[in-house]
Each structure stands twice: as C-alpha cells, then as structure tokens.
Amino acid sequence: MRNTAHDNSARTAGLTRRPHRTACAALFAVLCLLPFGCSRKTGPDTLQLDLATQPATSKFAALWFERVQNLPVSPNFHYSNPDSFEMPGIMGSGCSLTDLDNDGRLDIVLVPGDVRPERAPEQAGMCCVLQQQPDGNWLNVSEQAGLRVRGFGMGCFTADFDNDGDPDAVTTGSRGVLLFRNDTKAGQIRMVDVTAESLVSDSRWATAAVMFDYDRDGWLDLFVTHYVDYFPGSICADGTGRRDYCGPQSFQGTADLLCRNLGGAGQPFRFSNVTVTSGIARAQGKGLGAAASDFNGDGLTDIYVANDMEPNFLWIQNPAGEFTEEAILRGCAVDLQGRPQASMGVSRTDLDQDGRLDLFLTHLRGETNTWYRETTDGFFLDDTGRSGLGEPSRNMTGFGTIVADFDLNGLVDIAVVNGRVMRAPLLQPEPAGSHWQEYAESSQLYAGIAAGRFTPHAADVFQERLEVSRGLAAGDIDNDGDLDLLVASTSAPAALYKNVAARLGHWLQIRTVSSHRAGAAPGARITVASGNRRLVAEVQPQTGYLSESDSRVHFGLGQLSACDWIEVQWPDGAVQIERFAGGAVDQVLELRQGAGQPVAAAGAQP
Amino acid sequence: MTRRSWWCSSLAAAGILAAGLLVWQTGFRQPLPEIPQFSGQGASRTVVSLLTDLRDRLLRQTHSATAWGDYGMALMQHERPAEALQCFAAAARLAPQDARWPHLTGVILEQTALQQAAAKYAAAAALQPGAAQSELRLVSVLLTLGQFQSAEPRLQQLARRFPRESDVWLQRIRLARLMNAPDQALQWLQAAREQQAVSDLLLREAAGVQLQQGRSDCARQLLEESRHAQPHVAVRDPWLEQLRAFDASGAVASAQADLQRQQGRLDQALRTLSTLASRFPERSRPALNRALALRDQGNTAEALAELSRLAAGFPADPLIHFHLAVTAAQAGQQAQALQSLERCLQLKPDYGLARAVRADLLNAAGQAAAAIAEYRQAVLETPGDPWIRFGLVQLLLRQKQLPDAAAALQPVAALLSPGQQAEQSELQRLQAELKQAAATDSAAGQTTAQ
C-alpha cells in the first residue's frame, strides 16, 4: 500500500519548490491539446447536406390501410412504353370508383395507357371494368362493358347525362374524348359508344372532366380540361443531354371545352359546344384538374382549373351563362410568391373545417402541395406554410389526392400518391436499375391533428410501394362506414387498399338524389349540423387527378354521436336550399331533392 | 531551475508548438471533399467533354476556389446539383469571402430544404450586402416558411438600399397581404410610385389585397392601371447568369439563336444554328430552326432541301412535315405541300393551324367546298385562335356565303380581350366587309326584283 501521506507531501512540496517546471508542463499540455481542441471549423462553409427532410411523424402509429390482393386484372394492364419518352406516357392514367350497375356496390374502372404491342387490335384502348359481386369479390367484365379511350388513356368519369337514373361515362385520352351511354340490364354492365351522336367532337389532349349543371336546366353539362398542344415525336433531354420526358413548358396551352347538354330540348345525349360563346375559349391553359362549385356564393356554378406550370383558372359564371377568369384576383392562381405551380391534382374541400370550402392542389418536386384557404366567399390565401403540408411534400411530385377522415376522429386527413415526371439528380444522383425506378416515389398520408394542421402519418402499408403513381380514388367499397382507397400507377398493377384504421369516432354518409335524374346531384353542398359544429362538403366525385371517387359524401364525426339537421344546397333546377331532419349517425342517409324543407334560395343569405 | 534549462524548456515548447501547428495545418484541418464524379450515362458528348475538362483542371488545382467553383457551376448548369453542392462547399472553404458559393448553394437547396437555403442566402447577403438577389431570395424563403417577423426588418433594409427595385416593393405588398394589412399594402404601393418602381405584377398584387378586403372599386382601378403598367422586371442575379457561360447542352445557344432570328439577325442565327445542328445531330430542332431561318432569309430552295432531309430523318415529327408543307407551298410545289400536310395531320390530327394551311391550299386549287370544311375543322380544333376564324370568314365572304360568314364571325368578339389590338382591328374590318357585302347583295336583289 502506498504511503499517500508521503506522495501528497511530495506533490505539494514539488508545487511549492518548482513553480516554473509545473507551469511549463501545463503549457506543454495545453499546446499539445491545442490542435485537437480547435480542429473542427463550423460556419457557413461547412455544408451539412440533409437532402431528405425528416418530418416529425404523427403520434398515431396505428395502421390505416391494408392491401387487398388478387384483383382480377393483369398486372401488366397499364402500359407505358419506356423507350418512347412520349409525354402522355409519364402523365399516367386515373381510376374510378363508381356504381355502374346501380346495385349499391362500387365497381372499379381502370384506364389503360399505351397499347401494348402484343395486344389484339380489338383490345386497344379498352378500360378494365371490375364489377363488385355481392360477396365482395370482383368480376372482370371489361369486354362486355366496352369502355374505351382514345389515344393514351387519361381518365374515366361517370354521370347521368340522360337522366335515366344510371351513370353514363366520359373517357379522356391524349387524342380526345369519348362518350358512353349506360345500357346495363339485369346486372350486365354495358356501355355504348354514343360519341358521334352526342356531337361532342374533340381530338385534343383531354385530361380531367367534370359533369355539372351549369345552366341549372336539370341536365348535366360537360367540362373537359385540355392539356398542352402536344407534338408527338418531340425530343427532350435533361441538362446533361440524356433523353427525358418533355415538360409542359415545351408546348403551348389550349382552351378547355364546355358543352351544354341539350337534353332539355328533348335530345338527351346531344351537346352543344359553347366553349367560345361562354368565354371559356378566351384563355388557354394546360389543364390537368378541375372542380365545379359555387365559389362566390351567388348560386351559380363556377369552374376551377388546375393548370400545369401556368396560373390556374377560376371561371366565375354570371347570370347570362358567361364565364370570366378571376383566379389571380381571388388568390388561387399562383403560390405565395406569385409563381405558377405544377398543379396536377385538385380537391375542393374544407381542410380546416371552418365551414368554407378550400382548395388543395398537388405539385412538383421542388414545390410544395398547396392549400388555398378560403378567407371570404371566393377569395383565397395560400396558407400552406402553417398547415404542415408544405415541407414534407417538397421532395415529392404529387398527383392523386383525397381529403377525408380516414380514422373517423372528426379531423380530415390527406392521402397523396406520388411519382416523378422527370429524373431527380439531387435526390438520386446515380442511375436506377430500371426505367421506372428513376421516377418512382412512395405515397404519403397526413393525419389531421387540429383544424388545418397536419402531420405525416407513421409508416403505413399505403406508403410502402415505390411507384410512378397517378390516380387515387376513395370510396366505401365494403359499405362498412369508412373510406377505402384505389391507386392507379404507370406500368404497374393497380392497388386496392381496405381501411383498417381503428375507429376513433362516428361517421355519416350522405347520398344525394336529384329530382331530375334519380341519381347523385354533383355540386350539391351539404352541411351537417351537430351542436355547435357545422361540417360542410360537396358532392364532388371527380376529384384529385384524373380520378373519380364514390359520389356519396362521407363525414367523419369524431365524438359527435347525433346529427341535429342537414342542409343541402341543390345545384340544379330551381334555386333552393333544403333542410332535412337529423338523427342517428353511423349510417348512410339518402336525401332526395324536394323532400326537405325549403330554407332559402341559393345565393341568398339563409 | 537554471537559466540554461529554462531556455531548453522554452525552445522545446516552441518546437512542439510549431510541430503541432504544422500537423494541424496539413492533417487535422477539415480536408477538402473528394472531387465528385458525375454519371455520364446517356449524356451528350459535349457535356461530358466539358465536365471532364473542368474536372481534370480541378485535379491539377485542388486548392483553387476558382477551379472548384467553375466545376460546380458547370455541374449545376447541367442539372447535377448533388455534385455541384460538394464543389461549392469546397470553393466556399477556400474562398470564404466569395458570396457566390453560399448563394448558389442556397439556390439548389431551395428545391429540397428551405431552412438550409435560408441560412445560405443569409450568409451570402452578409458577405456581400450590395447584392440584392441573395436578400430577396432569403425574404422569399422566409415568407414561404411563414416567418413574417424575420422577413419584415430585412425588407425595410432592402427598401432603403434598393428603393427602385420593383421586386422589393412587391415583396413588401405580399407581406402586407399575408399579415392582412391592406392599408399597409397601399402605403407600400405609394412608396413604390414615388420611387418609380411600379410594375404590372405589383399592381395586380396590390389589387388582390384590396379585393380580399372587399374593396372592389379600389381593386378594379389598380387592375386597370396594371394593364398599362410596365412589365415587371425581376432583380438580376448575375451569379445565376454566370452559369450560362458553362452550358454545353446547347440550350443557351438555342435561346440565343431564337433571339437573333426574332431580331432579324438571320446571318448570326444561321451560324449559331448550323453549329448546333452539327454538334447535336440526334436532335431535330436546331436543324429545323436553321431551315426556318433560311426561309426567312428568302433562301427557299436550301430551306426545302434541309426540311426534306429532316422529314426523312425524323418521320414521326409533325412539326417538320408542317414546315416542309409551308415551305413547299411558298416554292409553288402544291402537291408536295399537300402530301406533307397529310402526313402532318396523320401524326397530329388536332393541328388546327395545319388544317387552316391545307384549307388555303385547297381553295387555291379551286376546291372551295373542301377548303371550307377544312377550315371548320380547324376552328373546332383551335377554338381560341381568332385568326383561323378570320381565315374561314374571308373564305366564306369570297364564296358569297354571307349568313355563314356572319355566323362564323359572330363569336369572335367573345374571344378577344381589349388588349388584342390587331385582332380587334381585323374583326372590325371583316365586320365592315360583311356589312358592305350584305348591302351590295341586298341592292342587287332589289334591282333584280325590279
């Protein structure tokens, strides 16, 4: 054992007797340590590259969706030629959830892309139609149904054009529009091509379509957005000269198409092209999405068009049936900085549940998805920054989108499907293993955490796939009260996702029945009242990107266990708002035009 | 301690200090990044050649900020941003006072990481306070991030330093809109007027602020004023402009040639386009534009030869066939023109302008009925183009189909906006001609009746 007393006294003695040596030793030690202590410079010249934003994820780690396997459609159904680099091939196709046979069960329509070289000529352009069976399985009835597209398929949209109670169809493609009359009998889905007799002649690149009664004569009219004035065979390249898809800036815009349904003149399925006389032809855009709604509260339906890399349009209708473009004035044309954005998918929805319908648009990588919050009737403010929806989307190129309450907690959530339109050398500097891997991205879910506030949802099956996704449709496929999702991707199998989220509250679904057509009333605005809460939504089945969702309007009610009353502002025929009695929730309610109590004329203050 | 031992200790300490500094200088200071490679897969050989040369130069001058910066700018110009970031980081370390490097880094990061981009712009602005471009980009990012309180003082300073820049006042008005302060927006507009910095975009932004508050009269006045105001000119960014000097993809030269052609400097345009066409034979556009420049110059024969060659080399390009048709028609080769238009319309059936040209050719060949049908189809394909309608109306007038001409002309008024002077003049001219023709017709009819 050491003699500590001796050591201590020796150390003390050393300090007392040899101050210079100790000081030199200390100096020596400091000098030796100096290079290590000061070696790391920090400051503006030190780059910390954090290319992938790491957003906080929601505390709701529960799974929301699980994938349904074995849809009876070939995994190669959707094809886009990877060698051609033709622009339609990267814009992709949408999908549709619609009840074609009126049996109360949603059916599926998938839109094809290019014609596969090995496909038989008679199958060229044929849509895939899956009829839902009573046991929940699916039957492929594509050939019998006969739905087709012209050129590279864009979307399929349904509405009752002839007011006979079943949904007819419009398909859009890179070479124009086709119209089909629904001739389903005894459960056999059959759609008959009536394009020629309809007098709708359109061979331009048609993208989105919305059907609504713009002149309130009880017959649904047709609005089709047109994309660019595309020149096939155009060759574009990225900055290094490597072949890549052309972007919209390489081409001019085109005018959209508005056709008035002449059904009121005893001629169902006859349309008159009113594009020029209505004023719509006055502006050329590069339309990819559209929403028809009464934006300024005057009882007349207006039209919002999402234009790719151009200012969006908001066509405000006057009583003479003419439209004036006012998006810039109303704050929904460009982003906060005055820059036009890519604008692919568009959803007209109440994002912050303040009773006003906003706009939510999906955009390109390098931009963010945009929430235009309605501040007063028909005026908007880009409020993306505060919503939590901006930064998580900056590295993604968003297309299809659905805003809905997936977990029924009373706050809306958002689903976005993504996929690039050009290579992303900042995010993926090295070439990928295959053509489509260069453009593939994952989908995203955002959970609503407060009114107008969202956070990325935790890892979910819905977000697992890396694909070039485009179309997204929502609907209560299994009629269990929550919303399921259908995704269409380029050169990849379509995917159906069943909602398995733990239910955090109640729900209500509303089916509107127009007095004109014994079917849905597109554009009907529904207000559900429960206590002090007012939940507002519209019948907007054609929503998102080139897709169509369930025409029943779904409300997540959270803890609201009953509904006091429901008001519907009908979009056609006589101008009126009707009130219906409330009652129990967790059910599907059917509200028929004319069966409620009139409240006020639309456009007047109730 | 003796003096000798003290001196020895001191010398030893000094030696150790010097050795430590030397080691720190060479070993412990943060090393420069590895010189980035780029993937040349599928890239143009001119781009690969340029980037290779710059990389080789950098290999010889690894401690030159200029060499790092040039390589980075070339990578950025050719859309290799990840590699460019590495170069700018190195350049910034070697030349920490050069504001270019944080600024260009911020431009790249703005695509993916706004907060980081903001930090870079702030650094650039601090290094070079006279450069408005960094400050303005920073303000723009702060507004996007919702950081209004941070943006406000910066905008105040910018307004003091750059009072004549429209962009500064535009951002001030934008901030006022976001903060729901319409009176403040009017105040900034007035300040911009005093500085003669008003532009069309600025007035529209101010109008939007007023409309949001329900002040529609004020908004309409501002909108009307915006129609006659000078176009908005953004603040120059000379550092981004420098990137153009590194372009090897042909994009900058193509834009230059377009400008030369528009300005009538056809010889220069031809030289530029000939160089581009020979450097990029796999692309059709340089050669097509060259053929069009030859045509503009009056050299129809050579233009025709070039277009014929292009049509054979790019048979699926409708634009080439269209211009071949137009040039052939100018050269009096009607049959060739019609054949090329046929091919063009097979490839692009919705090409309204091509149908209008075909209509004119058919009419010249005495096939008026076919020409009218073709014009009607052209109008359907391109409803927003008043000139195609004018063509149809003129043809109908010549064929004395007056009611049809009137019907075709009637919707044009709904198409035009007040600013379209040439179209408005043509509309009035045709309306007058139609009126005259109707009067003549009526008089002739009365004379016959008598």
* Interface with chain A: mutation pick from B212, B289, B417, highest number of A CBs within 10 Å: B212
| A-chain residues near B207 (CB < 8 A) | 329
Closest residue of A to B139, CA-based? A337
Task: Please provide the average confidence, as pLDDT, over all residues in chain A.
Answer: 88
Q: How many CB pairs under 8 A join A and B?
A: 225
Contact A28 B16 (CB under 8 A): yes
From the list A45, A242, A385, the residue facing B93 with the nearest CB is: A45
**Distance from the A187 Cα atom to the nearest Cα atom in chain B, whole angstroms:** 38
Q: pLDDT of A349-388, one tens digit each?
A: 999 999 999 999 999 999 999 999 999 889 998 889 889 9
Q: pLDDT of B30-55, one tens digit each?
A: 677 899 998 888 899 999 999 999 99
From the list A176, A232, A425, the residue facing B79 with the nearest CB is: A425
* Interface with chain B: mutation pick from A22, A30, A39, A47, highest number of B CBs within 10 Å: A47
CA distance A335 to A384: 9
Residue A228, sorted as left (phi over 0), alpha (psi -120 to 50) or beta, turns out to be beta
Contact A381 B212 (CB under 8 A): yes
| A-chain residues near B380 (CB < 8 A) | 201, 273
Instruction: Note the residue count of chain A.
Output: 606
Name the strand (E) or helix (H) holding A79. none
**Distance from the B372 Cα atom to the nearest Cα atom in chain A, whole angstroms:** 17
CA distance B132 to B109: 19
| A-chain residues near B223 (CB < 8 A) | 329
Contact A331 B119 (CB under 8 A): no
Secondary structure (H, E, C), chain B? CCHHHHHHHHHHHHHHHHHHHHHHHHHHCCCCCCCCCCCCCCCCHHHHHHHHHHHHHHHHCCCCHHHHHHHHHHHHHCCCHHHHHHHHHHHHHHCCCCCHHHHHHHHHHCCCCHHHHHHHHHHHHHHCCCCHHHHHHHHHHHHHCCCHHHHHHHHHHHHHHCCCCHHHHHHHHHHHHHCCCHHHHHHHHHHHHHCCCCCHHHHHHHHHHHHHCCCHHHHHHHHHHHHHCCCCCCCCCHHHHHHHHHCCCCHHHHHHHHHHHHCCCHHHHHHHHHHHHHHCCCCCHHHHHHHHHHHHCCCHHHHHHHHHHHHHHCCCCHHHHHHHHHHHHHCCCHHHHHHHHHHHHHHCCCCHHHHHHHHHHHHHCCCHHHHHHHHHHHHHHCCCCHHHHHHHHHHHHHCCCHHHHHHHHCCHHHHCCCCCHHHHHHHHHHHHHHHHHHHHHHHHHHHHHC
Contact A232 B348 (CB under 8 A): yes
Judge whether residue A14 has pLDDT over 60.
no
Task: Please provide the average confidence, as pLDDT, over all residues in chain B.
Answer: 91
Confidence at residue A36, expressed as pLDDT on a 0 to 100 scale: 37
Query: Residue A556: phi, psi to the nearest 5?
Result: -90, 125
Least confident of A244-248, A503-507, B12-16, B64-68: B12-16
The amino acid occupying position A538 is: E
Q: pLDDT of B285-304, one tens digit each?
A: 999 999 999 999 999 999 99
From the list B44, B88, B349, the residue facing A240 with the nearest CB is: B44
- HSE-up (13 A, CA, CB side) for residue B72: 28
Contact A395 B316 (CB under 8 A): no
Q: pLDDT of A261-299, one tens digit each?
A: 998 767 778 999 999 999 999 999 999 999 999 999 999
The answer to whether the beta carbons of residues B90 and B68 sit under 8 Å apart is yes
The amino acid occupying position B234 is: A
Between residues A1 and B325, the one the model is more confident about: B325
A40 is written with which tokens?
A: 């790391």
CA distance A51 to A225: 35
Confidence at residue A603, expressed as pLDDT on a 0 to 100 scale: 45
Name the strand (E) or helix (H) holding A219. none
CA end-to-end span of chain B: 143
**Distance from the A273 Cα atom to the nearest Cα atom in chain B, whole angstroms:** 9
Confidence at residue B179, expressed as pLDDT on a 0 to 100 scale: 86
Confidence class for position B211, pLDDT limits 50, 70, 90: confident
CA distance A493 to B425: 55
Judge whether residue A77 has pLDDT over 60.
yes
B308 is written with which tokens?
A: 């014929």
Which of residues 251 through 270 in chain B touch A, CB cutoff 8 A?
Answer: 251
Residue with tokens 């009353």: A565
CA distance A560 to A409: 10
Q: pLDDT of A420-448, one tens digit each?
A: 999 998 888 888 889 999 999 999 999 99
Span A493-505, average pLDDT: 96
Confidence at residue A573, expressed as pLDDT on a 0 to 100 scale: 66
Span A307-315, average pLDDT: 97
Which of residues 2 through 31 in chain B touch A, CB cutoff 8 A?
Answer: 6, 9-10, 13, 16-17, 20-21, 23-24, 28-30
B156 is written with which tokens?
A: 């105040």
CA distance B373 to B380: 11
Contact A39 B29 (CB under 8 A): yes
Confidence class for position B29, pLDDT limits 50, 70, 90: low
Judge whether residue A27 has pLDDT over 80.
no
